Homo-oligomer: A and B are copies of this chain.
Amino acid sequence: MSRFYAVIPAGGVGTRLWPLSRAAAPKFLHDLTGSGSTLIRATFERLVGLSDTRVMVVTGESHQEAVCAQLPEITAENIILESEPKDSAAAIGLAAAILFKRDPEIIMGSFAADHIIQPIEVFQEAIREAVATAATGKVVTIGITPTHPSTGFGYIRQGRNLKIEGAPHAHHVMEFVEKPDEKTAQAYVADGSYSWNAGMFVAPVSLMLKHIEANEPALYTGLMEIADAWGTEEQEAVTSRVWPTLPKIAIDYAVAEPAAAVGDVAVIPGTFDWDDVGDFAAMARLNHAVDNESVTILGDSKRVYSDKSSGGIVVSDTNRVIALIGIDDVVVVDTPDALLITTKEHAQSVKAAVAHWKSQGDTDVL
């Protein structure tokens, strides 16, 4: 594990969690389950047990202050600030390139800043197996054991057990498959060899870079140029010149899928509870109401009155009183400058509201 270095890309806004999650205060800076920790803090705490202080964060320039406040243990050299979002291949690739320059033997693991995982011990054991597998020259992903035939995730099809020492559950990955329709998802779950792609990757930095170089040579060249300057007087100048020119591409297309095609990918089953808190329906699920008859309340429950309503969720971020009468499965998110009212069924449509405000130029509420 001494080769292991954790990387946390903290990028996405979490549009489906608007108006709780905002451009200025994205999902990873919130405590969505009442745990007392923001999601990024909880992510960090899951990882320090594996990598000690070898944790690197990639985030937007505007989040620097908030991220540093959440993760005071992280030193400046381990915070990569994006002047503009360039998708996951650039973010994770730059971390790989910088770490490679420090030590080409490093095995990196990339973990989203805004997922919920427990128990920690089960997660950590899976990552230990992933690192052992990566050390054999693999890009290793964690395949979440499906709890239902979700159409919202991509799937990983696993093949034979790789029989790696220290990684008894490591399997070969046959392929990554895109988000399926309902029927296909049911077939995947019934089959038993498919798991959810949660976007976690563990791999030697050298192998990550090899695949980026092969599939996205322009991205590779740019990343290496920045990495060469990293920590020198040139860092600022080179980064601000090169970063905006990098192609936008997801790590799945730049590394995972082509690597799987050449047989370079393995999977460790993730048997822990995992949730990417994709929308308010997920938040309601993760924050159980006291009983089936009631509404989940995040905030001061004494200021919420609910009558003839059940199954919904109220997120109160103001001091206002809220009266809720006769609407089941309602989602109410009350913030000082924006109010969302929908139902769990329509939770995925919240992004349409964000698109509307954007098109109308109401950038202050995004």
Contact = CB atoms under 8 A, between A and B. Distances in A.
A66 interface: no
Interface stretch (A102-110, A193-201, A344-352): A344-352
Contacts of A362: 321
A73 interface: no
Q: How many copies does the complex hold?
A: 2
B360 A302 contact: yes
B326 A357 contact: no
A295 to B, nearest CB: 11
A177 interface: no
Interface stretch (A91-99, A144-152, A332-340): A332-340
A339 B343 contact: no
A320 B339 contact: yes
A165 interface: no
A342 B356 contact: no
Given A341-B332, A345-B326, A357 B321 contact: yes
Contacts of A335: 320
A325 interface: yes
A267 to B, nearest CB: 37
A365 interface: yes
B320 A337 contact: yes
Nearest to A332: B341
A52 interface: no
B307 A325 contact: no
B337 A325 contact: no
A237 interface: no
A332 to B, nearest CB: 6
Interface residues of A, number: 38
Contact of A341 (B322, B338, B360, B365): B322
Interface in A247-299: none
Interface string A287-318: 00000000000000010010110000000000
A341 B357 contact: no
Contacts of A342: 323-327
Given A305-B353, A305-B357, A332-B341, A346 B325 contact: yes
A329 to B, nearest CB: 10
A320 B364 CA distance: 11
Nearest to A312: B341
Contacts of A332: 339, 341
A219 to B, nearest CB: 37
B305 A349 contact: no
A321 B339 contact: yes
A325 B325 CA distance: 17
Given A327-B342, A339-B321, A342-B323, A349 B302 contact: no
Contacts of A142: none
Given A325-B353, A336-B320, A341-B325, A346 B308 contact: yes
A212 interface: no
B352 A325 contact: yes
7 contacts: A305-B356, A305-B357, A307-B352, A307-B356, A321-B337, A327-B342, A334-B339
Interface of A: 18-19, 302, 305, 307-308, 319-327, 330, 332, 334-343, 345-346, 349-350, 352-353, 356-357, 360, 362, 365
Given A322-B339, A325-B342, A325-B353, 7 more contacts: A305-B357, A307-B349, A308-B349, A320-B338, A323-B339, A325-B346, A325-B349
